[in-house]
Amino acid sequence: MNQEKNQAILQAAAEAVAAPQIASRSPWADARRRFLRNKAAVVSLVLLSLIALACIFGPMFLPHQFDTTDWDAMGLAPTLHNMHLFGTDEMGRDLLVRTLIGGRISLFVGLMATLASVTLGILWGATAGFLGGRVDSIMMRIVDMMYAVPYLLIAILMVTLLGREFYLVVLTITVFSWMDMARVVRGQTLSLKSKEFIEAARCIGVPVHKQILRHIVPNLLGIVVIYTTITVPGVILTESVLSFLGLGVQEPMTSWGVLIHDGAAVMENTPWMLLFPGVMLSLTLYCANYIGDGMRDALDPKDR
């Protein structure tokens, strides 16, 4: 009986050794696989990449400059004549080049403001949640007060006092877009700081700032990636709103918000001035939102 049992054990062990080994996937590899299964997110990522590449490199291959006037083609409808594929504005400037340059500015402002606001929100929320107590209360009351301040009023004051500079647009958006990230990070930090690896780091005398930067922040990357992808379209839309109200970049430089503002003023006579920048902005926002949804689904621990 024992001999038969031993033979069965040896046979099972031999089958286990002979069976093909299945490589274990890391959480990030699993998230990538789940993201690639989301067709809407993948198509949006490809389309957004094409839009970004066109905005960055497209003007280099076009014969017109964004601030050059074609006196023979003022207010021209879209045509193949002289390569005015999107037409021209009332000053004879090529709308295709201006749309691509405007997209370059809008995307750059959106990425820079998102990066700055995410960094500030992570540091603020992680510090407040990790230290706790009175420090946490004071820091989160500051966040509550920031929510009560109308950002358009502050933007108008900053432009009036300091002028319409490019970096002020980024600064204005950053100041009023980091609070959501701070709150989310604080909540996650409160649950992480009681974990065993944090207690171990505290017991061996790791400084507080290193505990936050080396142990808390790396474990927040999943939720940070999700909220970053969700923040980008909101920041781009905010920049467009500010530019539409005349609080963005200055002429002759442009952005999608500036172009939409100019097109709305003359839409009855030259509707293409509003159509093309509006379509480009809408496509970008739709793609960014679908990518954010795909990242959220791919990194959601409940679906693993």
Q: What is the pLDDT of residues 41-55, one digit of tens each?
A: 899 999 999 999 999
Confidence (pLDDT) at 303:
52
pLDDT band at 100 (very low <50, low <70, confident <90, very high): very high
Residue 23 pLDDT greater than 50, yes or no:
no
Averaged pLDDT for residues 195-206: 81
Residue position matching structure tokens 């171990």: 200
Residue 24 pLDDT greater than 60, yes or no:
no
Q: What percent of the chain has pLDDT over 90?
A: 9
250 compared with 21, residue with greater pLDDT? 250
Helix (H) or strand (E) holding 106: helix 95-131
C-alpha 238/C-alpha 229 separation (Å) is 15
Residue 70 pLDDT greater than 70, yes or no:
yes
Four-way CATH pick for 41-62+95-303: 3.10.100.10, 1.10.3210.10, 1.10.3720.10, 3.40.640.10: 1.10.3720.10
DSSP bridge pairs for 94: 88
CB atoms within 10 A of CB 146: 14
Lowest-confidence region among 21-25, 170-174, 258-262: 21-25
pLDDT band at 17 (very low <50, low <70, confident <90, very high): very low
C-alpha 88/C-alpha 69 separation (Å) is 9
Tokens of 168: 């002020």
pLDDT band at 18 (very low <50, low <70, confident <90, very high): very low
Residue 6 pLDDT greater than 60, yes or no:
no
Confidence (pLDDT) at 53:
94
Residue 90 pLDDT greater than 60, yes or no:
yes
Confidence (pLDDT) at 52:
92
C-alpha 67/C-alpha 133 separation (Å) is 56
Write the CB contacts of 88 (distance below 8 Å, at least 6 apart in sequence). 70, 73, 74, 75, 76, 94, 95
CB contact at 8 A, 303 and 35: no
Q: Domain locations in the chain? A: 41-62+95-303
Confidence (pLDDT) at 47:
94
Lowest-confidence region among 9-13, 115-119, 176-180: 9-13
What is the pLDDT of the chain when averaged over all its residues? 80
173 compared with 138, residue with greater pLDDT? 138
